[in-house]
Structure 1
Amino acid sequence: MTASKTCLVVDDSELIREIAGRIITDLGLEADDAADASAAIEYCRAEKPAAVFLDWDLPSMGALDFLREAASLEGDRPVIILCATENDHQQFTLAKAAGAAHHILKPFDKGAIAAKLAEIGLIDPVSEAANG
């Protein structure tokens, strides 16, 4: 079985999940989504996505709770990309310490998502330029 090239989008906004998913599939990867952190953890345990786009402001179980749970995942852990609406250095520092090595600001567009996916090695930066 080959390594998963799936990105999981975790956001309580259906619109954000739909837009991010469409961008990810346009970039040649598979996309799936979860509306909350507990569903996302279950998905990660079962499906082993390559990356997770994680909304900071989640209801009930928050982003930091997800990150603590994700740290206990067996095998290959996904690259976690925190998605935030504010450029809050303290928030990014907390998230990074908990396991989210990357972040992206919302609202994001195809270029921002492509740049982040290229940075973590999931897509070829040259192919994004051709599709841009």
Structure 2
Amino acid sequence: MKTCLVVDDSKVIRKVARHILETLHFNVEEACDGREALTRCTAAAPDVVLLDWNMPVMSGMEFLRALGTSGVSRRPKVVFCTTESGVAHIRAAIDAGADEYVMKPFDRETLQSKLSLVGMA
């Protein structure tokens, strides 16, 4: 079973994402900020990370940059999941190493489509 780490400071978003991902047959773990996510990824990298942009402690962009230099044995696919819709934000996320980008709010079909684009669905 594929694993997904949902990284978001909103408990509601984590719960919604977990529900959708479990219907897509993912084993789901959660982190409330980028620092916790980085710790989890270095301990045991998931197959994919669903990553929020704006979080306390360590933002999604800070996490993505740190993941790139962390030396994880197997880099997970990263799907940014955020309300930031500007072309500059999307380009910055892709340039920093994100594999795909999904806008909040999202539904099962949208998330499944994005996961399919990165080879995870």
Structure 2 segments unaligned to the other structure (5+ residues): none
Aligned residue-pair number? 120
* Structure 2 residue 50 is matched with structure 1 residue 14: no
Cα distance in 2 for residues equivalent to 1:61 and 1:120: 24
Deviations 1:60-105 (A, max 9, x none): 2111110111102322101111111132111111111111121000
Cα distance in 2 for residues equivalent to 1:43 and 1:17: 16
Out of 35, 41, 44, the residue aligned to residue 41 of structure 2 is 44
Question: What's the Cα RMSD here?
Answer: 1.2
Q: CA deviation at 1:119?
A: 1.4
Structure whose CA Rg is larger: 1
Q: Report the TM-score when normalising by structure 1.
A: 0.86
Structure 1 segments unaligned to the other structure (5+ residues): 124-132
User: Which region of structure 1 is more displaced relative to structure 2, 79-88 or 17-26?
Assistant: 79-88
Letter of the structure 2 residue corresponding to residue 16 of structure 1:
I
Letter of the structure 2 residue corresponding to residue 50 of structure 1:
D
SS at 1:91 equivalent: helix
Letter of the structure 1 residue corresponding to residue 50 of structure 2:
F
Aligned to 1:77: 75
Cα distance in 1 for residues equivalent to 2:84 and 2:64: 19
Runs of 4+ deviating beyond 3 Å:
none
Aligned to 2:94: 96
Q: Report the TM-score when normalising by structure 2.
A: 0.93
SS at 1:71 equivalent: helix
